[in-house]
Chain A
Amino acid sequence: MTESSILSTECPERLIEILLVEDNPGDVRLTQEVLREGNIFNHLSVVEDGVQALEFLQQQGNYSHSPRPDLILLDLNLPRKDGREVLAEIKFSTHLKRIPVIVLTTSQSKEDVLRAYNFHANCYITKPIDLEQFIKVVRSIELFWLTIVKLPAE
């Protein structure tokens, strides 16, 4: 089966909602660009720190009308509230814990990897330096998480 055939059979009817938690505007833009080049019909929301991320997810403050994401791309080193804490709060919340969280970070440290999985991250990816590699990573995420994987309805 080719990639396009998967997409044609499994393509969801509604927009895929993705939340990107990332404080580096360069990274945000890069992710937006690469997702835009892809084939998945998605909507990307961006928050810049951990506090905003949790407000977004709990539909509080400025985010009272935010959509519930199907997938979260989470950086670890964030201002105000750290990505590790955000991950823990998501995974300890009965309401949010089913949302897949992909830790996408520059950190290569073993401790970070171990800790992320201990807090039930769904996968841990180190951002590649090379653009081609990065594009491959984003395509893989799209292919696996947004097409192959059957996500929970709510």
Chain B
Amino acid sequence: MADQGVVLIVDDTLTNLEVLFDSLINADFKILVAEDGESAIDTANYALPDLILLDILMPDIDGFETFRRLKANHATADIPVIFMTALSETVDKVKGFALGAVDYITKPFQQEEVLARVQTHLRLRQLTKQLQEQMAREQAIRAEAEAERSRATNILESITDGFFALDQEWRFTYLNPQAEPLLQRKREDLLGKNIWDEFPEAIHSPFYQKYHRVATQQISVEFEEFYPPLNVWFAVHAYPAKNGISVYFQDITTRRMAQEELQRQYQRSQLFAEVTLEIRQSLNLDEILQTAVTEVQRILQADRVLIYQLWADGSGSGVAEEVLPGWSPVLGRKFPEEVFPIEYREQYRQGRVCNIPDVTDQKEHVPSCLIEFVQQFQVKAKLVVPILIKSELWGLLIAHQCGAPRSWTSFEAELLQQLADQIGIAITQGQLLDQETRQRQELGRSNADLQQFAYIASHDLQEPLRMITSYLQLLERRYKDRLDENASEFIGYAVEGAARMKTLINDLLAYSRVGTHGKAFEHIDCTASVKQAIANLKLSIAENQATITWDELPEVVADSTQLTQLFQNLISNAIKFRSVVPPTIHISAISQAENWLFRVQDNGIGIEAQYADRVFVIFQRLHNRAEYPGTGIGLAICKKIIERHDGTIWIESEPGKGSTFCFTIPEQA
């Protein structure tokens, strides 16, 4: 494929640049990049790209200011600019359009969307260029003709413009040779004849008024006008003459048509941008589809616009429809597989556009099953484009003309396809939102389950334990004299087991509450948290003659209670697994890759690397209970706290050389 055009991407975020670069380079665009407004202006001025993708939020000079400077520079003023903005910033979009941006795209970027928009605007740009060139050519030709006219005496015979002269009675007194093909009449047939007799349709047209003005007011006039009987656009210069008027004229039909087509395309592109904004402003699927059909109907002035969703079994139904009064609605009707058989679906999946100006035309090969459908809903002409989601056929966007056959222009087909692409993107976004909502609800449910569990643990599980303990103790109390030593020992073990069970339940409860009973995050001074943790551990620190030191610690955004609990668990863990020498514990923090990296280093017994992950697993113990009491909950709670703060925790250790617990907390929550 040849080069599609040169696109300048302006964005200060490297990842955005990369995403855009990748998606456009694959489609054969030449890409230039700039990371700020100043260099964007320089690059644009030097390279004159066909299109600029411009980020709004940038340091120094922002997108709007960059845009203003580009527009102020004659060289870059005509380059179309597409703004890039976050999905939610409607104000920016509106401001962008108001300044004269041709379009916007939203972040995060959808590859297909970026491509579709860039292609549309490059195509428009190309058409504009062609038109400008054509106009320049015409002007050159005319200038040449003017020059010649002044040189030659028999100029009227040789000029490329048509020329005729009329006397005061509106009779042709002279026509040059070029007038013949332009008026589609012979000179000899017209000479001496009254113009209004020969061209009666002109009487009720501007030609009549303008020529009369020239004659009565003795002024020259210049105008462009369409003359329907000849189906020609004329550019006319009429001058007063001694005995009547002189008229120079030329056929400008081609230019006018191109200009009008461009105007139409421009209007439709504006409409397209508006519709896209409408469609994409909603994330509610039904709303998106209804807006889409309403807007498409408005733009195409079709009698019926339908979004038809295809189901997995090949059948389908209309899911949104806009139909003019007088034509039957299709909405809600379910259609069997035969309406769109598999081979048709496959063609649509590959991007087929079905353009049928007249369904009764035998050449169109409308399948017999469809003819019935077509008759039932009075369809005379139809235009069908696929709605694809991730390269799969989701459904069809269908325009029907019911009153009469209709030739759909390629532009209309293209516009419909672009809108179908937008609908596809909007549906994907809607589906993403649905999915997210569902996940949130599930999370809510599972949180509720956890709360329920916590209540059960705090109440229902305690009850049987209390029965076991109390009755064993009552047994011991009442029958002490009648029990031997063995029986007392057995009762002792049973009571101890129940007590441990109670501790386990309480630990489990504490663990589950990290997720469900957390407080809101706030700015916390870590030094204060460490001091609080040390105060809570005062007894144990004194008993073990432990020394705790710390460097300057940062402020973080965290749950203050949990942060204190974290330091407390880590310090108490370091004291518990001390070696023979008194424990020394040092706490430090450094900034690393947008995170604070904390290190809690001790001189304890350390552990072997193979157990490094197991220490964070709930109720995992690496030592026997007599030597190191506890359930093995402390580090599991640390891990859960850190995970709630979007960080990670790990241990670096060697037996005999102490351990270092490392954890990260994001610098910006």
Q: Confirm or deny: B644 has a beta carbon within 8 angstroms of a beta carbon on chain A.
A: no
In chain A between 97 and 120, which residues have their CB closer than 8 angstroms to a CB of chain B? 105-109
The verdict on A109 contacting B471 (CB below 8 Å), with A129-B465, A129-B466 known, is: no
List the A residue with the shortest CB-CB distance to B501.
Answer: A129
A77-B459 contact given A129-B465, A129-B499, A129-B502, CB 8 Å threshold: yes
- Which chain B residues lie closer than 8 Å to A108 at the CB level? 458-459, 462
B459→A107 contact, CB < 8 A: yes
Whether the Cβ atoms of B458 and A129 lie closer than 8 Å is no
Write the chain B residue with the least CB distance to A34. B474
Interface size bracket, A side: 10 to 19
Task: Provide the main secondary structure of the chain A interface.
Answer: loop
What CA separation (Å) do A108 and B454 show in the bound complex? 11
**Number of B residues contacting the other chain (C-beta, 8 Å)?**
18
In the complex, are the beta carbons of B458 and A109 less than 8 A apart?
A: yes
B466 near A127 (CB under 8 angstroms)?
yes
* In the complex, per-residue mask of A19-38: 1 if CB is within 8 Å of any chain B CB, else 0: 00000101100100100000
Interface residue from B455, B460, B462, B474 paired with A129 (Cβ < 8 Å): B462
Bound together, the chains give a CA A2 to CA B601 distance in angstroms of 56
CA distance A106 to B471 in the complex (A): 16
Chain A contacts for B502, CB-based, 8 A: 129
* Residue in A24, A26, A131 whose beta carbon sits within 8 Å of that of B473 in the complex: A131
Which residues 440-459 of B sit at the A interface, judged by CB distance below 8 A? 455, 458-459
Most buried by B among A77, A105, A106: A106
CB of B459 within 8 A of CB of A109, answer yes
Give the dominant DSSP class at B's interface. Answer: helix
CB nearest neighbor in A for B473: A131
Closest beta carbon of chain A to B240's beta carbon, Å: 100
Question: Does B471 contact A26, Cβ atoms closer than 8 Å?
Answer: yes
CA distance A134 to B473 in the complex (A): 11
| Residues in A whose Cβ lies below 8 Å from that of B469 | 129-131
In this assembly, does A3 line the interface, its C-beta being within 8 Å of a C-beta of chain B? Answer: no
A interface residue numbers (CB < 8 A to B): 24, 26-27, 30, 33, 77, 105-109, 127-132, 134
Known: A129-B469, A131-B474. 8 other contacts (CB 8 A): A24-B463, A24-B467, A26-B471, A27-B467, A30-B474, A106-B462, A129-B466, A131-B470
Q: List 24 A-B contacts (CB under 8 A).
A: A24-B463, A30-B471, A30-B474, A33-B474, A77-B459, A105-B459, A106-B460, A108-B458, A108-B459, A108-B462, A109-B455, A109-B458, A109-B459, A127-B466, A128-B466, A129-B462, A129-B469, A129-B470, A129-B498, A130-B470, A131-B469, A131-B474, A131-B477, A134-B470
